[in-house]
Structures are given as structure tokens and as C-alpha cells.
Structure 1
Amino acid sequence: MMSAILQGKTLHLAGSVGDGWFDEETFNSVDILVATEAFAPEDELTVHLNSPGGIASEGAAIYAMLAARPGAVHVVIEGIAASAASLIAMAGKTVSMSPGSVMMIHDPSGFTSGNSEAHGKAIEALEVLASAYASVYARKSGKPPSACRAIMKAETWFTPEQAVKAGFADTVGQGLLSHTAAAFDYSKFKNAPPALVAMARANDWAAREASHQMKTQPAKDGPMPKDNQAHAAAAARIKAIMKADEAKGRTELAEHLAYETDMEPDAAIALMQHAPDGKHETAADDYHPRRNREARQMNASGLNGATGRDRAATSRLVDSMKQRHGAK
């Protein structure tokens, strides 16, 4: 169930970040895009946040969307902003923490299934993601990225006063004491405050979360469920296309091939090799790349979506290139 609620110019984000693996209440980058599409880019936006985190890449995407807005974003943490949610909080021009709320910063984590090469690739991906997270925390706090990475590795929990002192928040709010944290099994965190662990146990959040994870996580020492296999394969295909050298200067085309077609990486790369690289002007009826790419951050490409004209032009280019070079 989506939990991104817009009231006036205030966006309330509650529950887990991602696709519902952790909680019935969730929000993701698409929810934020839909909730804010009525705003002019220069409009100020206040975001009230109460989340234990979730999917690290979704947190990065939401951070990028909010941070790219020309209008000021003000974040108010109510209850908790942990893991991926703490990264979202860093998008605030101002970050205020309600009395009694907490913030947690740690390294992203994940699970893999497969041979040693598959696990090695997962480690590589997690290191890249952790470095990206550290750079965001550094930008907000003024600390070196290496110092932020050390804080992440230690799984560090902050009271409002501690977060302000560390530079991850700006003020302690004057509102009522916050007693409600988003539902999550906080015993999963190694350094979670005892009060949060006790709250999770009292509300049986561990059992609630387990019922959701049964639908998505692989059995121990068993094969990955088909849905997860398909998701992993799709993610690998997208990454192979977007990270290819041929995608540089051809972002719009790469995004179209990665996200809007089922073309295999080899065929997509071969097609991109023959496409204009964006450094030169091209005919308007052939390919018209979108402008203002400087707003894209943290690998959140495509979140703002191409216009219908852009998509049509890109589709025409894809069809033309397929015919010209025999790609299927």
C-alpha cells in the first residue's frame, strides 16, 4: 500500500522505501514523482518522513529527485529516518528532527544467490552504492566521504541533538515528542536502540515482516524464486546497457533501450555504437536528446521521464537503427 500522501505543499512519507518487501506501507520513486507532478519545479516542498528504510537504490533515486528540485525542500523527521530513509533526508535544504525521533546511517546490504562470481558482483555493486551514499552524507555534513563511510560501517544511531552536532540535521523541532516509529523489525539492526527493539516486539513487527519476506526471499540454500530471478535478470540487463561505454553521450537512447524495450545488452550496445553521441547536432526528425541533464544525480536517470516527443523521436531512431543494422 502506497504511503506517500500530499497535503497542500507537504508530502508525508511513511513506511518502508521500496516495493513492499518490508511493510504493507511503502513508498517509492514513482510515488514521489506522481505526488509532486502538480508542483512547479521552483515551488518549496516540505517532506515529513517516518521510515525504517528499505531498498537502497530506491532511496538514492528519491534523494536525487528531491535534491534536483530548484525549489527548496525542507525535511522533517518524525519517528525515524533509518538506512535508505536517512539518505532521503539529506535532500533537505533544512533537516529538522522532532523531539524523540532518531536517525540511523549504515552501509547498504543485500543478498545474492549463485556462484562466487555472482557474490563478487554483488560486493562490487554494494561498494559502489556505499561510496555514493557516503558522498551524499558528506555533502550535507561537511565531513570527508571517508569519515561518513566509517560512520556507515559502524551503523550509527543519532538522537536529534547528536544528528545536529554531526551535521546530518540542522535543527531540533519544537513539536510534540515523537513516540511512533514506522513498523519494522528493528532487532535486525545490530545497534538499534533498545526502545525501538522493544516497540517492535510489543507490536509483533517481526512476524508481520516475515510474512512479507516469505513471498520474496529465497529459501536458505535453495534457488532464488522465479520472480526474483526475473527481477535480477532485468536489473542486470539494464545495468549492462546503462553502464556501457557506448551509452555515454547517448543517455536518452540508452534509457529507452534499457527501460522501454527487451533488447539484450549486446544488441543494444551494437545499436548505440552507430547512433550519434550527443556531442553533435542531429536532424530533428532523427533524434532529439533532452536538455538539462545536469539535474540527474545518483544514478537516478529517467525518473523525471521523457516527454512524449522525446520518446517518439527515440523510438523512431531505435526502429531506424534496427532496420539499418539488423538488430532484433
Structure 2
Amino acid sequence: MAALVNGNEIILSGTVGDLYWDECFTASDVIFALAQVGRDQDVTIRLNSGGGIATEGAAIHSAIAAHRGRKVIVVEGIAASAASVIAMAGDEVVMSLGALMMVHDPSGFTFGTIDDHELQIKALTALATAMAGIYAEKTGKTVAEARADMQAEVWMTAEEAVTAGYADRTLARAANDDAAPEPTAFDYRLFEHPPERLVALADQRAWTKRARPTAASPAVPPRLKEKPMANAPAGNEPVIPENPTAALAAVVDGAKPTATASTVSRADASEIVTLCVAGGVPAMAASLLAEGATVAQAKERIGAAGEVKNLVALARRKDPTLPADLDATMLAEGKTVEQARAALFDKLVASEEQTSVSSHVPAALGNAGPTASATSMQRELKRAGLTKGA
């Protein structure tokens, strides 16, 4: 793990996402680190990364943006590609003198049919548009202007990043500090237009040989930009959120990880976070990881949460006065699907009875008015799948 916590300071260095490099950090690493700092505490994040998995960068951006305390992100060395997306989550973005920032379009491998390639085009387009929105929000540029920067693969010095709006200020160097920050280890040949000094540094430090390819992750050919997602087996590709910034906006719940959480592997933790985003319940990620849930357990819990959300949506169609966040409340209370269904049934019957009383049920119904109302409601709710034991 390359997410280190020291009081109210988090250090993020290495590759964004577990991209078979020795030093890296993932969304789950950052979630744990923010939880250790405390959800309402101010935090300084020192960032030094050449990029990595673009969707992981979007998830990390969302987790940091959701943190309630003030966030100062200091770019030390470099924030390129996915790492520059992360930097945009800061309330203040500070560039160390000599540091670099780079923005560009995401890219990826595709192998398969025409449909496979078309799906990748849609995924990359959606991801690029979401990233451009993040840059635009920080810089004040239009989304089109930010996207133009991405397509040109713009490299910026500290001063240029401030001028372009990607950073707020440069960090004054101490009088006795003559050394410029060194970029983190990364194969900078993977980019289209990397500064020659970075390529030379990567060759000199043998960073171009540090990647450890596996059977599932073949060696990356020169000049291929970072992947938007890890290479997964066909049919098991991670789902790309339509709005990465909002997708993990509620992930950090302030709870410190328990000892059990250490049993969750990095790969499982990343999969659980992805499943939570895809299932529309990003807030569950932190609790599942803290509990040390397995991927199978996470899938079951996420599925149940989705069913609770659907039940609440059905109930609100019948009674729009029910709170819009009732599903979140029920999930926070730990209600099962059956408990949620029973609670919704009771709320809707009570609402119908109140409506019947306030509407002055005809006297001909006598004392059977509320009972008849409940029976009628029960028939309606049974058809909607909201009755107890349905």
C-alpha cells in the first residue's frame, strides 16, 4: 500500500490502482486513510503519481471530494493523467516548485467483435466526458475547452498549472532546499508527448522495467497511454459510472477500519468498491470493507440493498409524501428486505387510513371504514410486491 497516514496528512505515491507495479494506491486505500484522519478533519494530501487506472482515479477523486474537512492537495513531483483527476478534488491545489501536471484522454485495449469495440468507444467517451467535467469545474473552463486540453495531452509546469486554473498556487521552497521534487517511478514512455527529461529519468532509473506482467496483464507496448480499467476476463469488465464524481460521493463514512478489514485483499477491496458503485450504493463500500466482507457477501448485501431501493421507489409512487431518502435510512438501520417491505406496508396502510379519516368516509361504511381501507390497500400492495411475505 502506498497511502500513508501521518496525523492529518496523507501521502499518496506510485501508480493509481493495482496495475502490477511495486508501489501503488487504490480507492480502498484512500478510503481507509481518510477514515483514519476522521471525516470532519482538515487534511493535507501529498500526491506524487504518474497516473494509472482512470476509473480508479475517478473513484479516488470522489472519495476525497466527499470528505467533510478542508482538503489541501500538494502535488510533489508529478500529478499526471488519473493522478491529475485526483488533484482536482482539493479545496486548494498547491504545486511544489519543479512539479508537473498533465491531463489527457483515457485509452484502453479492446479485443473482440465490432460490438466489443463499439462498447469500448462508448465507455471511453463517457469517461472522458466525466473527466473533462471535473477539470472544467476546477479551472472555470468549459467542458469543451477542458476536453481540448485532454486531447492535446497538455503538460504543465507548476506555474503553468496555476495560470491554466488546474492549481491555485505554487509552494514556496525553503531557503535551504535547492532540490526539486522528483517524479515518482513510472514508465513515462507510455504517454504520447512526455517531456524528454522524464523519459530519460525512467530509463536511467530502470522504471521502464519495473512492471511485473502477468498472464492476465500482458506487457504494455511503448507509447500506449494508461488503461481506463484493469484487464479483466471477458464478460467481467468493471462497470464505468456515468458520473464518477457523484458515484462515490458518500463512500467515506468516518468509521475507522477494524482489524477484520485487514483480511480483505487489495483485489477484493477494489472489486467490492466497483460493485457498490455499479449497484448504486457507493455508501456501502466503507462498511463492507471495514467488516472484512468477502466479494460473495458483498454481492448479496448489494443485491438486497438494490431490492430495498426498488421497494421504496414503488412505495413512493403510491405515496409521494414518503421521504426521498427513506431507502438510505432503512439501509443505515440495517433493515433486511423483508423488514423494509413490512415497514413500507405499515406506512402506506397508515397513510391510507389517515386519508380515509380526513376525507370523511361515508357513514354507510360504519366502523368498517379503516378495515376496508386496509384490505383494499393490501390488495393493491400485493400487486405491487409490497405486501408482507410477498
Which one-letter code corresponds to 1:199 in the other structure? L
Q: Is 2:241 the partner of 1:213?
A: no
- In the alignment, which of 198, 205, 230 is matched to residue 203 of structure 1? 205
Unaligned runs of 5+ in 1: 221-226, 243-249, 292-305
DSSP 3-state at the match of 2:36: coil
More deviation, 229-238/129-138: 229-238
Offset, 1:129: 0.6
Report 1:11-50 matches (<5 A).
11-21=10-20, 23-50=21-48
String of CA shifts for 1:189-215, please: whole Å, max 9, x gaps.
Answer: 111111100000011111212xx2344
Does the 8 Å CA contact 1:16/1:54 hold for their aligned counterparts?
A: yes
Q: Is 2:161 the partner of 1:163?
A: yes
DSSP 3-state at the match of 2:46: strand
DSSP 3-state at the match of 1:261: helix
Determine the C-alpha separation between the residues in 2 that align with 1:104 and 1:279: 48
Report 1:61-80 matches (<5 A).
61-80=59-78
Does the 8 Å CA contact 1:49/1:78 hold for their aligned counterparts?
A: yes
DSSP 3-state at the match of 1:158: strand
Corresponding residue of 1:93? 91
Question: Relative to structure 1, is the Cα distance of residues 114 and 276 closer, same or farther in structure 2, using a 3 angstrom cutoff?
Answer: same
Determine the C-alpha separation between the residues in 1 that align with 2:215 and 2:80: 24
Question: Relative to structure 1, is the Cα distance of residues 229 and 170 closer, same or farther in structure 2, using a 3 angstrom cutoff?
Answer: closer
Which one-letter code corresponds to 2:19 in the other structure? G
Corresponding residue of 1:261? 299
Corresponding residue of 2:236? 233
TM-score (normalised: structure 2): 0.63
Determine the C-alpha separation between the residues in 2 that align with 1:123 and 1:314: 38
Offset, 1:181: 1.1
Q: Is 2:53 the partner of 1:55?
A: yes
Which one-letter code corresponds to 1:17 in the other structure? V
Corresponding residue of 1:289? 327
String of CA shifts for 1:129-155, please: whole Å, max 9, x gaps.
Answer: 100000110010000010000000011
Offset, 1:38: 3.1
Unaligned runs of 5+ in 2: 221-229, 248-278, 286-294, 342-384
Offset, 1:46: 0.3
Which one-letter code corresponds to 1:289 in the other structure? D
Tell me the percent identity.
Answer: 36
Larger Rg: 2
- In the alignment, which of 336, 343, 354 is matched to residue 313 of structure 1? 336
Does the 8 Å CA contact 2:309/2:327 hold for their aligned counterparts?
A: no
Does the 8 Å CA contact 1:288/1:314 hold for their aligned counterparts?
A: no
Does the 8 Å CA contact 1:252/1:289 hold for their aligned counterparts?
A: no
Determine the C-alpha separation between the residues in 2 that align with 1:122 and 1:315: 39
Does the 8 Å CA contact 2:17/2:56 hold for their aligned counterparts?
A: yes
RMSD: 3.9
Question: Relative to structure 1, is the Cα distance of residues 137 and 204 closer, same or farther in structure 2, using a 3 angstrom cutoff?
Answer: same
* Structure with the largest fraction of helix: 2
DSSP 3-state at the match of 1:277: helix
TM-score (normalised: structure 1): 0.74
DSSP 3-state at the match of 1:290: helix
Which one-letter code corresponds to 2:298 in the other structure? E
Offset, 1:216: 3.2
Does the 8 Å CA contact 2:34/2:67 hold for their aligned counterparts?
A: no
Which one-letter code corresponds to 1:313 in the other structure? T
